[in-house]
């Protein structure tokens, strides 16, 4: 591919990739590394990109694989166990949701296992359909929908106004070290 093509690919997708990486990793430094590594890998694999229309999904997939590879050996995650995520019987209050602090959202995302975090992030990058998300994650579409519903229920509880004043003095959110505040029990690691 001529350099113009690669430059076009960078221009078209680097911001979305960075935002995705940031929301996945919770760290600006990691997000920058992941974005750079993604384009590095993409350049080497350009011949595999058969449908240019699918470039974004392809790049997102490369990035997620790099991220999973990075965290595989790191037992630093403290995440909410799957069975604590999203009790669907919870009835949310019928109130207008005020603005959500992006740092607080990151804090809540960090508490979620990647299996829940990724579909949530992709869901809100609206160009990803359920089918896209299922393909990204190599999962049946029903599993994606179930995880989405539960992940959203968790976030809704976690980010509801009554939780809005909990501890995050510097406003940056924790990396992964801090246990999740709020009503859910938190345990180390998830299979």
Partner 1 sequence: MECRDAQFYLRLRRHTTDELGPDVAGTLEGHLAICPACAADGRAAVSFDRALTAAMRAVPVPSGLREKLFTQAASAQGAVLRHKLYRTGGLVTAAVLLIGIGFGVFSSTRPKADSELLTRTATDQANDPAGSVGRFLAAKKLPDRLPMPFDYDLLVHVGTDEVQGQQVPVVVFRSSNGDSGFAKVYIFKSDSRFDLRGLQDAQGSHARAQVLVGQDKFRGATYVFVHTGRDLKPFLLNRNGGGNPA
The reply to whether 15 sits near partner 1 by the rule CB under 8 A is yes
Cα gap 65→137, rounded to integer Å: 9
Name the 3-class secondary structure at 129: coil
Binders of partner 1 among residues 35 to 54 (CB under 8 A) are 35-36, 39-40, 43-44
Among 156, 163, 175, 178, binds partner 1 (CB under 8 A): 156
Among 10, 55, 82, 186, binds partner 1 (CB under 8 A): 10
Q: How many residues does the chain have?
A: 191
The reply to whether 152 sits near partner 1 by the rule CB under 8 A is yes
Measuring CA to CA, which residue among 81, 107, 91, 88 is closest to residue 164? 107
Least spacing, CB of residue 156 vs partner 1, in Å: 6
Question: What's the Rg (C-alpha) of the chain?
Answer: 17
Least spacing, CB of residue 71 vs partner 1, in Å: 19
Q: Phi and psi for 85 in degrees, rounded to 5?
A: -85, 125
Q: Phi and psi for 28 in degrees, rounded to 5?
A: -65, -40
Residue with smaller CB distance to partner 1, 7 or 69: 7
Locate all alpha helices (DSSP H) within 26-112, ordered by sequence.
28-44, 55-72, 102-111
The reply to whether 23 sits near partner 1 by the rule CB under 8 A is yes
The reply to whether 155 sits near partner 1 by the rule CB under 8 A is yes
Number of residues that bind partner 1 (CB under 8 A): 50
The reply to whether 170 sits near partner 1 by the rule CB under 8 A is no
Q: Interacting stretch for partner 1, rule CB under 8 A, among 5-13, 64-72, 164-172, 183-191?
A: 5-13
Torsion, Cα 53 54 56 60, to 10 degrees, reads 180
Q: State the distance between the two ends of the chain, measured CA to CA, in whole angstroms.
A: 40
CA angle at residue 56 from 190 to 75, to 5 degrees? 20
Among 124, 140, 164, 188, binds partner 1 (CB under 8 A): 124
* Interface residue list for partner 1 (CB under 8 A): 3-4, 6-8, 10-11, 14-15, 18-19, 22-23, 28, 32, 35-36, 39-40, 43-44, 88-89, 91-102, 105, 121, 124-126, 129-130, 145, 148-149, 152-153, 155-156, 159
């Amino acid at each position: 591919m001529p350099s113009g093509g690669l430059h076009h690919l960078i221009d078209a997708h680097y911001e979305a990739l960075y935002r995705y990486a940031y929301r996945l990793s919770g760290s600006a430094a990691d997000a920058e590394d992941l974005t750079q590594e993604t384009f590095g890998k993409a350049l080497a694999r350009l011949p595999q990109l058969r449908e240019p229309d699918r470039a974004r999904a392809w790049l997102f997939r490369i990035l997620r694989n790099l991220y999973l590879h990075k965290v595989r050996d790191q037992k630093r995650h403290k995440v909410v166990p799957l069975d604590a995520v999203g009790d669907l019987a919870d009835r949310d209050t019928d109130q207008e949701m005020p603005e959500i602090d992006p740092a607080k959202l990151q804090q809540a995302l960090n508490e979620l296992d990647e299996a829940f975090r990724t579909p949530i992030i992709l869901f809100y990058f609206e160009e990803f359909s359920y089918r896209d998300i299922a393909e990204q994650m190599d999962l049946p579409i029903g599993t994606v929908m179930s995880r989405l519903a539960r992940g959203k229920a968790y976030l809704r509880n976690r980010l509801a106004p009554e939780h809005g004043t909990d501890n995050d003095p510097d406003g940056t959110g924790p990396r992964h070290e801090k246990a999740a505040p709020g009503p859910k029990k938190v345990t180390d690691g998830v299979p």
